Chain A
Amino acid sequence: MNLQTQKLLHSFEELYLVEKAAHDLYEKQLMDNLSAHEREVIQGIHDDEERHMKIVTKIINLIKSET
């Protein structure tokens, strides 16, 4: 794995961490006292973030498989 690929991989790993941070934040917020509307919005974003984490993991695996 060359340096550029490592940097690319590192960028996606960082992205994963941000997505996970966002996911954890929304998960925590869902335990708070939210209005029905707020809950609906946050739940939707939370589910998206869960999907995003899987996508980023796939991307990371794709990059890793290239090498």
Chain B
Amino acid sequence: MQKNDISKPKVVKKKADDAAILVLHKKTGKILDANIVAKRLFKKSIKELRKEKIRIGDTVSPTANSASLEIDKLKNEISEYIELIDLSSNAMFTKDLNGKITSWNSGAQQMYGYKRDEIVGKNISLLLPVDRKNEVSEILDRIRKNEIIQNLKTKRVKKDGSVIDVILSVKAVKDVAGNIIGAATITLDISQAKIQENEMAEKIGELEKINKLMIGRELKMVELKREIVELKTKHTQVSKASDVRFQEGVELEEKIVESLDHDYMLMVMDSTLSRNKKNIIVGYLEVLLLDSRRHEKALEDLS
């Protein structure tokens, strides 16, 4: 980085052995090694520079070589930027105002599948799905108006024909005079994020369905509980009514059994009726007695 900061240095110190001259850069205040200054600013070796009478506190003016040095500096900066762009994992490329691709970085190669020499010179419409071909002219129209397109969600086609979801940012590229000569595009592949988003939406949909079912079931349970309470109440009422209704029958049957079981009745029959009639009547009474006991039991069971 120091090589970019060495315009108009000032000699601040000479080392005792004169082996090196340290200079202070006026703008940054950094102390630089004169070896670097000598080579990059004066295009001279340190030995040659030492022969010149440079004193502490002198301001050294750049030589005529400084203009070419500035150009070198710019070239270095540009090459650094190009290297940086090429190393970027983001897909970056430029195109002219006709849509012809003029540069293509390795990120773009990785994303779209086209190598640089395959795609540079081709039209950008190659990367657009059939139903989005109009996007090229729309984007270029906006670029001509010096608009910056940011985070445009769209779709693009890879070399293998697969369609990917992407986010685009596009900005005008200008020449030295400031004229718009093309556009630079950065593309971010969001297919994976889109898949996850869809999966998430699907899961949310499923959860909402389950939730609805649960609520429905819950409501049904509440309804069932209410019905059970109602039935229990009704059952209790009916049971109480049954108790009273059947209890009356039980009491009558008890009364019948009591009458039939009367020893007095048998004793009177002994003295008033013939044996034959008495036997017939006793037989009838047995039937009545057994039936009435059975009735009593059945009615108690109903109660």
B295 interface residue (CB < 8 Å to A): yes
Contact A59 B260 (CB under 8 A): no
Contact B255 A18 (CB under 8 A): yes
Contact A45 B273 (CB under 8 A): no
Contacts of B51 in A (CB 8 A): none
B195 to chain A, nearest CB (A): 63
Tell me the A13-67 residues at the B interface (CB within 8 Å): 14-15, 18-19, 21-22, 25-26, 29, 32, 38, 41-42, 44-45, 48, 52, 55-56, 58-59, 62-63, 66
Prevailing SS type, chain B contact patch: helix
Contacts of A21 in B (CB 8 A): 252
**A11-B262 contact given A38-B242, A48-B295, A52-B291, CB 8 Å threshold:** yes
Q: Chain B residues in contact with chain A, CB under 8 A? A: 242, 245, 248-249, 252-253, 255-256, 259-260, 262, 264-265, 268-269, 271-274, 277, 280-281, 284-285, 287-288, 291-292, 295, 298-299, 301-302
Cβ-closest 4 pairs across A and B: A22-B252, A8-B268, A5-B272, A45-B295
Q: Chain A residues in contact with chain B, CB under 8 A? A: 2, 4-5, 7-8, 11, 14-15, 18-19, 21-22, 25-26, 29, 32, 38, 41-42, 44-45, 48, 52, 55-56, 58-59, 62-63, 66
